[in-house]
Amino acid sequence: MRTLLIVMEPKPDIWFEDTAVAFAYKSDAELRKANFIFSMVNHPWVSSLATGFVEFAFKARLPIEGVIRKTAFDHFCGGESIEESEEVIQRLGKYHVGTILDYSVEGEKSEEGFDRTMEEILQNIEKAHHSDHIPFCVFKTTGLASAAILERINSRQTLTEEEARAFKRAGERVDLICRKGDAYGVPILIDAEETWIQDPIDKLADEMMARYNRERAIVFNTYQMYRTDSLDNLLHDYEDALRGNYHVGAKLVRGAYMEKERERAEKLGYTSPIHPDKAATDKAFDDALEFCVAHIDRVSVMCGSHNEVSNSLLCDRMAERNVSPGDTRIWFAQLYGMSDNISFNLAKAGYNVVKYVPYGPVRSVMPYLLRRAQENTSVAGQSSRELRLIRSELQRRKRR
Ligand SMILES: Cc1cc2nc3c(=O)[nH]c(=O)nc-3n(C[C@H](O)[C@H](O)[C@H](O)COP(=O)(O)OP(=O)(O)OC[C@H]3O[C@@H](n4cnc5c(N)ncnc54)[C@H](O)[C@@H]3O)c2cc1C
């Protein structure tokens, strides 16, 4: 009788509490600055007072850009331009953590603005192609297309001829970016946004996946697992890919617009598209991770999360299915300035890790920074975890 020997991929030991690894790339001064920032956002009333003041100061054109630049901006962003972000790219790269340059200029409304954003993303692809440390590029569709038109399409309204022309141009911008990503071998992530504009974004993403993911996943759509329909959408996309003989690129996130989504649903009287509680979102997220690993031959996945349980679970599922940590079909991603304990400990253990590194003029990046401040106060435990780890590392360095 022949015995079948199954060699399991050993799971590397990962300890997310290893602050020496997590913060090796930060100087003492930078850590003290991080301590200050997270101490501020940790108190809801200080945070809301500070964000309220910053919003007012920017509207009133008070000279506070310098202060923002030296504090929150430096902590959460790479710089004001691609060139300025180079230092951060190199510093992360030294510890095998890749960068995704995230051009964070929001609120473009003109065709010229959309063209400018497209040019910037094309430059990012060029930069990624020549760099060892930039494995992906990313865009938000609202940087390339009018949110108002996306909303009209989403609610099945008929477009005027001019709107139809504008949407066609937006589709051409998206195609140009994905085509260049394909030609340069740089995978492209398409961020997910609010449900009331997301259907046409998903449709564009599906078309791009069918066109460019023939041999491997070049285009990744984003699945917000706080949505009650996301798991079904993922399964449906997988079935389509099987039928069409292409690959699915899936960036899994929980979702960033929960409060906004619920408020709008309540105001307009429709059922909220968001899971009723955190446990249901967590289950959907983890089920989606499992599904992707189980179908890795057809699905490449990026786990975009700061949740230690989900990140650990992905490592476990990979080991169970004998997928090596360095398999390039599986990526872990966090935002720059957050959850370094997850990113750097995973990278040290040999997993593929990337950080979203936002960049752009200070004033334009403000909406992004304000969202980080809100997220860190409203997401239970997030800023207190950051604070605890930063303080523990400061103590450890003092004891050396
Ligand atoms: C690399 C990366 C890329 C990202 N890209 C996108 C993107 O394209 N689009 C996007 O929308 N977001 C994006 N995000 C943000 C993401 O969706 C989450 O807001 C953020 O990461 C927090 O979720 P978590 O898994 O890290 O942590 P956790 O702290 O475990 O989860 C917090 C999240 O759980 C959900 N949640 C919390 N309370 C409840 C509740 N009561 N009921 C139901 N659900 C609840 C919310 O989504 C909340 O943000 C991205 C995040 C990362 C790290």
* CA distances, 208 to each of 116, 177, 277, 291, 296 (Å): 21, 10, 33, 22, 19
261 lines ligand 1 (CB under 6 A): no
pLDDT at 387: 92
Query: Measured between alpha carbons, how far is 211 from 107 in angstroms, rounded to an integer?
Result: 29
Report whether pLDDT(161) > 60.
yes
Report whether pLDDT(399) > 50.
yes
Rounded to 10 degrees, the C-alpha dihedral 355/358/359/363 comes to -160
pLDDT at 108: 78
The distance of Cα 232 from the centroid of its chain, to the nearest Å, equals: 21
Query: Measured between alpha carbons, how far is 15 from 165 in angstroms, rounded to an integer?
Result: 53
Q: Per the structure block, which two tokens stand in for 170?
A: 């937006």
Query: Measured between alpha carbons, how far is 207 from 64 in angstroms, rounded to an integer?
Result: 44
Given the CA of residue 381, which atom of ligand 1 is nearest to it?
Answer: 29
pLDDT at 127: 98
Provide the phi-psi class of 61: left if phi over 0, else alpha when psi is between -120 and 50, else beta.
left
Q: Edge-to-edge strand order for the sheet containing 248-253?
A: 97-103, 353-359, 330-335, 299-304, 248-253, 219-224, 188-190, 137-139
145: CB partners within 8 A, 6+ apart: 114, 166, 167, 170, 173, 174
Query: Measured between alpha carbons, how far is 245 from 347 in angstroms, rounded to an integer?
Result: 32
16 lines ligand 1 (CB under 6 A): no
pLDDT at 57: 80
360 neighbors 80 (Cβ within 8 angstroms): yes
For the segment 173-200, the average pLDDT, to the nearest whole number, is: 98
Query: Measured between alpha carbons, how far is 327 from 299 in angstroms, rounded to an integer?
Result: 12
Q: Per mean pLDDT, which range of 47-56, 89-98, 165-174, 373-382 is the poorest?
A: 373-382
- Look over the chain and give the mean of its residue pLDDT values, rounded to a whole number: 93
- At 42, the pLDDT band (50, 70, 90 cuts) reads confident
**b/e burial code for range 218-238 (CB count within 10 A of at least 16 → b):** bbbbbbbbbbbebbebbeebb
252 CA → ligand 1 middle, Å: 9
379 lines ligand 1 (CB under 6 A): yes
224 neighbors 281 (Cβ within 8 angstroms): no
pLDDT at 97: 98
* Segment 67-115, tens digit of pLDDT: 889 999 999 999 999 999 999 999 999 999 999 999 988 777 899 999 9
pLDDT at 40: 84
For the segment 386-394, the average pLDDT, to the nearest whole number, is: 95
343 lines ligand 1 (CB under 6 A): no
Write phi, then psi, for 89 (nearest 5 degrees): -55, -45
Q: Per the structure block, which two tokens stand in for 242?
A: 């099987």
For the segment 47-56, the average pLDDT, to the nearest whole number, is: 78
Q: Taken in order 238, 240, 246, 251, is the CA torsion positive or negative? A: negative
For the segment 341-367, the average pLDDT, to the nearest whole number, is: 95
- At 155, the pLDDT band (50, 70, 90 cuts) reads very high
pLDDT at 77: 96
Provide the phi-psi class of 138: left if phi over 0, else alpha when psi is between -120 and 50, else beta.
beta
Instruction: Give percent of the chain with pLDDT exceeding 70.
Output: 96
- At 378, the pLDDT band (50, 70, 90 cuts) reads very low
What is the 8-class DSSP label of residue 227? Answer: B
pLDDT at 209: 98
Report whether pLDDT(400) > 70.
yes
Prediction pTM value: 0.95
Q: Per the structure block, which two tokens stand in for 323?
A: 């997928």
* Segment 261-285, tens digit of pLDDT: 999 999 999 999 999 999 999 999 9
pLDDT at 213: 98
Closest-CA residue, ligand 1 atom 25, reads 305
Given the CA of residue 335, which atom of ligand 1 is nearest to it?
Answer: 53
